């Protein structure tokens, strides 16, 4: 990168991410193994009505992204959108959200590491899982420690593979439908398969409602756009374009893929335990379908892990910047290439726990539970983000000519209510009940202990020195 092209922030970080890189980072976070492996299970639960679930949640995620985009547009120097919670809601809630979100991303990175080793062992079963995990973590951490543009280019490449796979599925699907392909089960590819004998709740209302949190977590990672702004070239030009375009494209890929899958073969004939991509490519006569999708899934997991390393590093850096503790200043070190090096390295080091955990079955069960709790906390962070935006719009900081969220007076409260409903639905499902209770205990316990700690410090500071 030529020196004239480099934009350096006051803190030494560099604006080296292009509009394409920002969009691909959002793709990398939100289009992952859930689509390539788990779409069959999701379709099996609700049938064609799953399209409505994706559309509804997509609309609310778009509204959240507009809220984040408006605040980041006003203050593009921030390294994470979570910092606005501390600024506009309260420092205590901001502290809770920042540490909770950082922990959630660490656990997500560890989960992706575990997934990568599982898929690689599909080809190389004799290699120990911990060796695979360490190698992939070292490679992706090295990419994150280079100039930020290198991270952007790696994410363009990794996300590009996922996008090409989805385009290939759509192209093959259209070909099978237009040629009236007949599969081994005797059914014929047709657009009519999508809504043939349509029922809104084929497996009951309960399964339809349960699909909402599943799809909600599938969109998780789209908010990574709100973590790239401080290192994006011309953020006030790139950010509105990235936010407005990303949701449409992600919905197109998700809904487009599901439409094609259900058109090629009736939804109730899909095997929920096998990747629908593998099933469709096999129907198209591709014998190496499982091999190809295995490669794509490894790429998808690498992309998510790559974005998780980037995001956790920036979150820890922002926490350290805002912390009054001298100990946290260690994490504010910025390298000559503009990377918050110590925060990135420490976050990656935390993820190295994955190889240790995967070696013990009992730890693996505990990790799965903690990861589920952390994912549920993500919903609370989303709610606090929307509250922060509502308060921002009523503050003196409000930028009248900014990138404004449309009709915030009712779209913002409606989004908060919807996110609350998603969180509440977790308590009515046996598999998600305990993690949801755990998330609630973490949220209440963290804030109670923090309030007690702050009160104690205040009492000590006000005590008569004599």
Q: Is 345 part of any domain? A: yes
Q: How many domains does the chain have?
A: 1
Q: Can you give the pLDDT at residue 60?
A: 94
Q: Is 176 part of any domain? A: yes
Domain, as residue range, for 347? 17-437
CATH number at residue 387: 1.20.1740.10
Unique residue bearing structure tokens 């976050």: 347
Q: Is 452 part of any domain? A: no
Q: Is 459 part of any domain? A: no
- What are all long-range contacts of 412-415, with beta carbons under 8 Å and residues at least 24 apart? 412/63, 412/67, 412/386, 414/63, 415/60, 415/63, 415/64, 415/67, 415/386
Q: Is 258 part of any domain? A: yes
Q: What is the pLDDT along the chain (466 residues), one digit of tens a residue?
A: 444 455 666 666 666 777 777 777 777 667 777 777 778 888 888 889 999 999 999 899 999 999 999 999 998 888 788 889 999 999 889 889 989 989 888 888 888 888 888 889 888 889 888 889 899 999 999 988 887 777 778 888 888 888 888 888 888 889 888 988 887 767 788 898 888 777 788 888 888 888 888 888 888 878 877 777 767 778 888 888 888 887 777 788 888 889 998 888 888 888 887 788 888 888 777 778 888 888 888 888 888 888 889 888 888 988 888 877 788 888 888 888 788 899 999 999 999 887 777 666 666 666 677 778 878 899 999 999 999 999 999 999 999 888 999 999 999 999 999 999 999 999 988 888 998 998 899 989 988 888 877 776 555 444 444 3
Q: Is 1 part of any domain? A: no
Q: Is 7 part of any domain? A: no
Q: Is 463 part of any domain? A: no
Q: Can you give the pLDDT at residue 2?
A: 47
């Amino acid at each position: 990168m030529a020196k004239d092209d480099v934009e350096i922030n006051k803190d030494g970080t560099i604006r080296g991410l292009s509009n394409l890189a920002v969009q691909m980072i959002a793709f990398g976070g939100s289009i992952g193994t859930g689509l390539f492996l788990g779409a069959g299970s999701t379709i099996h639960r609700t049938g064609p009505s799953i399209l409505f679930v994706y559309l509804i949640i997509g609309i609310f995620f778009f509204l959240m992204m507009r809220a984040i985009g408006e605040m980041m547009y006003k203050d593009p120097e921030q390294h994470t959108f979570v910092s606005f919670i501390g600024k506009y809601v309260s420092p205590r809630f901001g502290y809770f959200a920042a540490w909770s979100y950082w922990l959630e991303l660490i656990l997500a990175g560890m989960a992706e590491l575990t997934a990568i080793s599982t898929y690689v062992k599909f080809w190389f079963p004799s290699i120990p899982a911990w060796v695979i995990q360490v190698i992939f973590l070292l490679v992706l951490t090295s990419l994150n420690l280079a100039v930020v543009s290198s991270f952007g280019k790696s994410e363009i490449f990794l996300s590009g593979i996922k996008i090409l796979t989805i385009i290939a599925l759509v192209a093959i699907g259209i070909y099978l439908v237009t040629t009236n392909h007949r599969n081994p089960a005797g059914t014929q590819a047709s657009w009519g398969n999508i809504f043939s004998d349509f029922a809104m709740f084929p497996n009951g209302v309960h399964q339809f409602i349960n699909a909402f949190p599943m799809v909600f977590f599938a969109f998780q990672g789209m908010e990574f756009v709100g973590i790239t702004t401080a290192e994006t070239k011309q953020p006030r030009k790139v950010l509105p374009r990235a936010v407005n375009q990303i949701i449409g494209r992600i919905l197109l890929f998700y809904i487009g893929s599901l439409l094609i899958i259900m058109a090629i073969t009736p939804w109730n004939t899909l095997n929920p335990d096998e990747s629908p991509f593998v099933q469709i490519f096999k129907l198209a006569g591709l014998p190496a379908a499982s091999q190809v999708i295995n490669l794509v899934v490894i790429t998808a997991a690498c992309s998510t892990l790559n974005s998780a390393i980037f995001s956790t590093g920036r979150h820890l850096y922002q926490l350290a910047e805002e912390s009054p503790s001298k100990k946290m200043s260690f994490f504010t070190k910025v390298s000559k290439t503009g990377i918050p090096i110590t925060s990135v390295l420490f976050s990656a080091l935390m993820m190295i726990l994955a190889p240790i955990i995967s070696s013990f079955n009992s730890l693996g069960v505990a990790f799965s539970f903690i990861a589920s709790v952390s994912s549920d906390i993500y919903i609370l962070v989303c709610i606090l983000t929307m509250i922060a935006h509502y308060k921002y719009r009523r503050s003196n900081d409000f930028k009248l000519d900014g990138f404004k969220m449309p009709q915030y007076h009712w779209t913002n409260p409606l989004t908060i209510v919807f996110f609350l409903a998603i969180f509440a639905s977790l308590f009515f499902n046996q598999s998600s009940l305990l993690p949801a209770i755990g998330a609630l205990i973490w949220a209440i316990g963290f804030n109670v202990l923090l309030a007690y700690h702050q009160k104690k410090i205040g009492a000590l500071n006000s005590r008569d020195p004599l």
